[in-house]
Amino acid sequence: MDDESTDHTVQIAGAYTGKIFHRKMDNEGRHRNWAYSQAKHAWILSLDADEAVTQELQTEIDQVLPGASCAGFAIPRRNYIGDYWVKYGGLYPAPQLRLFLKNKFKYEEVGVHPRAFLEGKTEQLTKDIIHKSYRDFAHFLAKLNGQTTLEAQKWIETGRNMSFGVAFWRMLDRFPRTYFRKKGYKDGFVGFMVAFFASLYQIISYAKYWEMKKIKQAL
């Protein structure tokens, strides 16, 4: 499914399949659910444009899927910043529900970080999805800026009453949780930056929420 890309994505994909759908992103959960509804088979493996299946994962899926007795599988995801695989700070294995029965699965229809709902049992695969998360720290910051805007919009749209105190506590909590408890320090300076950005995410989301709420009240 192509979200109005401006590079050569459609041409590249067209070399492998004629089934290319076009839809402008309006809401992440709704966008994903619409894409899944286009599938004609029972099982769906959901991948983003910056993700890829390893050969080992392909083999594992081929082995387990024919006799599957569950409704979905959680798959470990190997996150990278540039060429660096981030192994700590809660970023690995951090399994995500990505292989599931179409008629048993649905995402919450919110703008960012939608919750996944599955009717039935989830089992765990052991091989990885490769996720090229960020090209560099500048890309990391750019995505953080976009995601915090969507986070603030989600709070507004769902009527969530976020307070500065809660946001401030989350900001203080995220760094030690990521860097110390989840051993982000083992990733060196990269681990420090991941923890710092996790902390920053909370207070920036609140700042944007505060501004949006003020504008909404003034209308």
Which residues on neighbouring strands pair with residue 191, listed in sequence order? none
For Cα atoms 15, 48, 115, give the angle at the middle one, nearest 5 degrees. Answer: 150
Tell me the three state secondary structure of residue 42.
Answer: coil
Question: What's the pLDDT tens digit per position in 3-36?
Answer: 999 999 999 999 999 999 999 988 899 999 999 9
Counting as low any pLDDT under 50, the low residues of the chain are none
Q: Find out whether the peptide bond into 114 is cis, omega within 30 degrees of 0.
A: no
- What's the pLDDT score for residue 217? 92
**By C-alpha distance, which of 82, 89, 87, 100 is closest to 128?**
87
- What's the pLDDT score for residue 111? 86
Tell me the three state secondary structure of residue 162.
Answer: coil
Question: What's the pLDDT tens digit per position in 55-80?
Answer: 999 999 999 999 999 999 999 999 99
